[in-house]
Structure 1
Amino acid sequence: MLENWILTILVSVGVGSVLFMVALFVLLKNNVHAKIFWNEIVLEKITNFVMDQSKEQRILNSVSYNAVKGDPESVLDCIDKYCSQKEWAMNVGDEKGLILDNVVKEADPTTALELGTYCGYSAIRIARLLKPKAHLFSIEFNPEFVPIAKEIIEIAGLSDKVTILEGHAQDIIPQLKSKYDVDTLDFVFLDHWKERYAPDTILLEECGLLRKGSILLADNIIYPGAPEFLEYIRNHKRFECTNYPSHLEYMKVEDAMEKAVYLG
């Protein structure tokens, strides 16, 4: 009797475990929120604990070991390969990176600004396309990301084209003219906190940093989304907008980028 009861419990636990794993697999396959949660909260935290280093440090290690020093394309390819095959990360990625490339070429900026450096992936994509005396300022608030981004950008051979400014965009933007000798910005890439897209765009206007023809490009306007930003730029005659459908970096999930040309 006792043996039958124990066997029933074991079978129930086994069946329950299988059903749980199947349900988890289906959830991770079909739900982007679950995928991001699993990658960013569960797997990343476990890997960080086991390896005693951050995901961003592991990306840097991969670049250091595998990329060709002084070759931006090699660095970008290395990061894309790592983040698509091993650990998902919030770079703009290879697919949307082509959109970024084309808009940067269109803007042909002398002075560019990036909001959100992370590991330096998009900074490298932008800086490698800049003309000889052009420069990119990139703002990153996370002090743990800054040295990693600087080292990856150095490996790409683009340190002379990029200045990383550590702090919050709302604090640094008002200092660009006085402290960093920026007159106006030809190109701005928004890829930081999505709720800051709209207020930081307004701040750029208020600080006189946008000129007629300045181009803004915003990432992740569908996932995780930036509705306030879209409402602002699409409902003001000062902006002419273009939408670029795409996918979330390294995933088959609908996303898009939005270009806004400032008309003054």
Structure 2
Amino acid sequence: MSTTYKEYDWEKPVQLLYDHINGLPAEELAKFKKDPEALLDAIDKFEEEQHKKDGKYALMTVGPEKRKVVEEEIAQNKPYTFAELGGFCGYSAIAFAHKLKQTHPGYQVHYYSLEVSPFFAKVTSRFTTLAGLGDIVTVLVGPAAEGLERLKEEYNHAKIDFFFIDHWKDLYVPDLQKAEELGLVQYGTVITADNIYWPGAPEYAKYVRLTPAEKKKEYPGKGNPNIEYDTRTVEVPLGKDKKDGVEVTLCTGVLTE
């Protein structure tokens, strides 16, 4: 019997990566603070070698191909606040926090990583600090829905400019609806979501295409059905005969009752 997506031992490959990076020579670790992309390259290299060596414990990050899609959206939309739902090994936090900082040199920006696993949160904190991004990255440990509430109540955010969703696929819609209910999704908010094709997030892809009237009918009492989205799926080739998709969604307005 094959292992399902949720049954996969996600901690094992991250532990192997964590030990590998921390075991690098001190001079190499020091380079990462000046060059976060060097740390991303080191993770990519480890992931590639791990796939060849032992597919059972292969690391699965957003990767350089899909990462580029999100980075281009950051460069184009120039957000100041960014929240990711699912930190995993910190790869996306390094990449997107670095891009956020590059987009606004000298300006105050902040990146929030919402991660339910204390271990993954520890790895994300460690790696973003290694990359010299600890000053703009805050890791919130706990379910994403709770983290979203903290962004509103504890960190006093009336809006989040940019989201990256990459945790359990069955939580994509409920957690986006939570962000809507809290008012964190406003005009101009960009929401990107990974794994649209594999392992797949069909409910999410459908949800962001529903009209306000359809949302009121299909999801009564959930989210903010008055939010209007413009969305597209960006297909990304992943080697031979394989592809995935990143959903890129823009809040184009909020209807008044």
Q: Same fold (TM over 0.5)?
A: yes
Q: Secondary structure at the match of 2:164?
A: strand
1:61 equivalent in alignment to 2:30: no
Q: Relative to 1, partners in 2 of residues 1:251 and 1:128: Cα closer, same or farther, differing over 3 Å?
A: farther
**Quick check: 2:50–2:59 contact (8 Å CA) kept in 1?**
no
Match of 1:262 among 238, 244, 251: 251
- SS of the residue corresponding to residue 174 of structure 1 reads helix
1:245 alignment partner, SS class = strand
Q: Distance in 1 between matches of 2:19 and 2:237?
A: 27
> Taking structure 1 as reference, are residues 252 and 58 closer, same or farther at Cα in structure 2, changes over 3 Å only?
farther
Question: 1:252: how far off?
Answer: 5.5
Give the TM-score, by structure 2 length.
0.79
**What aligned pairs does 1:41-60 form with structure 2 within 5 A after superposition?**
54-60=12-18
Aligned to 1:171: 146
CA distance in 1, matches of 2:83, 2:115: 11
Flag the structure with higher helix content. Answer: 1
Contact 1:234 1:240 in 2 (8 A): yes
Deviations 1:75-104 (A, max 9, x none): 000001110122421210011111111111
CA-to-aligned-CA distance 1:36-95 (integer Å, 9 cap, x gap): 88xx55xx8xxx9xxxxx321221233331553302110000001110122421210011
Contact 1:62 1:78 in 2 (8 A): no
* 1:92 matches 2:62: yes
Superposition deviation, residue 251 in structure 1: 7.8
Amino acid at match of 1:163: T
Alignment of 1:225-244 (within 5 A): 225-236=200-211, 238-244=228-234
Give the structure 1 partner of residue 219 of structure 2: none
Matching residue's letter, 2:18: L
One-letter code aligned to 1:177? K
- With over 3 angstroms needed to count, the CA separation of the structure-2 counterparts of 1:80 and 1:169, relative to structure 1, is same
Alpha carbon RMSD of aligned pairs, Å? 2.4
Conserved? CA contact 1:183–1:209, under 8 Å: yes
Which of 235, 242, 251 is equivalent to 1:245? Answer: 235
The amino acid across from 2:196 in the alignment is I
Match of 1:69, as an amino acid?
Answer: F
Alpha-carbon distance between aligned partners in 1 of 2:59 and 2:240, rounded to the nearest angstrom: 11
3-state SS of 1:208 partner: coil
Question: Which residue of structure 1 lines up, in the alignment, with residue 74 of structure 2?
Answer: 104
Question: In 1, distance between residues paired with 2:76 and 2:146?
Answer: 29
Q: CA offsets, 1:128-177, max 9 Å, x none?
A: 01223110111000111111111111111100111000000122212312
User: Which of 36, 53, 61 is residue 72 of structure 1 equivalent to?
Assistant: 36
Most deviating of 210-219 and 98-107: 98-107
In the alignment, structure 1 residue 192 sits paired with structure 2 residue 181:
no
Cα distance between partner residues in 2 of 1:36 and 1:91: 17
Q: CA deviation at 1:260?
A: 0.6
* Partner of residue 129, structure 1: 99
Q: Aligned to 1:78, what secondary structure does the other structure show?
A: helix
Q: 1:169 to 1:35 in 2, by over 3 A?
A: closer
Describe how 1:145-224 pairs up with structure 2 within 5 A. 145-224=120-199
Identical amino acids, percent of aligned pairs: 34
The total of aligned residue pairs comes to 220
Highest Rg: 1 or 2? 1
Structure 1 partner of 2:84 = 114
Unaligned residue ranges in structure 2 (runs of 5+): 52-57, 213-227
- Work out the CA distance in 2 between the residues paired with 1:168 and 1:100: 23
Mean Cα deviation higher: 57-66 or 70-79: 57-66
Partner amino acid for 2:249?
Answer: A
Supply the distance in 2 between the matched residues of 1:104 and 1:186 (Cα, whole angstroms).
10
